[in-house]
Amino acid sequence: MMIDKFDFDATLLTTNFATRLLAMEVDKDVLIDRTLEAFCDLGSCQNATLMMYDDHRQLKGVAASVKGRRFTINEEIPLTDAMTEAADSLRPVVRPVCNDTEFPLPAKSCASKNTCLCVPLVGSRDLIRGFVTLYRDKSSPWEIAELFQLGIISTVAAVSFENSKLFRQTIEDSLTGLYMRRYLFIRLSEEVQRVKRRHGDLSVIMLDIDHFKLVNDTYGHAAGDKVLKAVADVLHKSSRKGVDIPCRYGGEEFAVLMPGSKKEEAEIVAERIRRACEENIISASDCHIKVTLSSGVASIDECDPQSGDELLRRADKRLYRAKESGRNMIVCIDS
């Protein structure tokens, strides 16, 4: 089948748009959403599954879209003959769809009459980074133009995930998975400039684990590391993916930069974090540890002059007022 000029031009236009969206993104969570969106749009379907190999070359389900509903997956996916063939040929493979899973996967047998398209994510040096599987009604087979687009997008997505991983290694704290302090300063400068040009809101939460030295002294540094990871997990879950910037500021101190958020909104998030940490019981070796957080909140509209240094200074000052006033609390105003 030949692709006429009109279809070819439309194919290039949509592929170029999706390619730019993927290639410019380094945030893994946003990249996952954009990958699913691109494959569903270019594959004219609502059902897709994204699988990636982890560092141990285990194939893991990452996320799926079913009838337009997106959700995460965290389970090992068995490698099927369709995936092996797609990986060997570096090309999409059509197979019957598995009827036993909520999200589309190629079946091991040919019992199903409906089909599933298995697209390999081919990265640098032709290394297979994972697969995307798509399902739509059998009466609508994938045409050459669609396979052409999906082949390009599969490579762009794979390389984007590689770049995202390399970028995260330079900006993420290896223990907690939070952003490093230097990345906070980079983003803070960018966001302050954005506010100055276009106005808008910008807030920050500074947080500190209460009596953390006592945890290390009593239970050891391994237990202290578990506490840091547990607090980081609370920050991850409480932050808006792709918007907020949760960071390990240093030692047991953390920060959450919140673009587009007023101080009142940041205060709500700070309270959510404080309560979640207070209610969390951390298991370490043969003991159970509970810790609390003290926080200071500030917004850019309080700062004169408007600068990143002044924003952090105000939040940090309020953090230490919270610690001096009894800990396990949030301070949002100056005395």
* Nearest residue to 32 (alpha-carbon basis) of 56, 52, 53, 58: 52
| Gap between the Cα atoms of 11 and 24, Å rounded | 20
CB-based contact 59:137 (threshold 8 Å): no
Four-point Cα dihedral 100, 104, 108, 114, nearest 10: 90
> In the block, which residue shows the tokens 């500021």?
249
| Gap between the Cα atoms of 36 and 20, Å rounded | 15
190 included as an active-site residue: no
**In Å, how far are 117, 246, 260, 261 from 264, measured between CA atoms?**
47, 18, 12, 8
| Gap between the Cα atoms of 110 and 15, Å rounded | 32
| Gap between the Cα atoms of 330 and 274, Å rounded | 8
* Catalytic choice (25, 252, 271, 302): 252
* Nearest residue to 261 (alpha-carbon basis) of 289, 310, 299: 299
**Per-residue tokens: 177:** 């998975």
Write down how long the chain is: 335
> Is residue 94 exposed (0-12), middle (13-18) or buried (19+ Cβ within 10 Å)?
middle
CB-based contact 132:50 (threshold 8 Å): yes
Contacts of 178 (CB under 8 A, 6+ apart): 172, 232, 235, 236, 246, 247, 248, 254
Tell me which residues are annotated as active site: 252
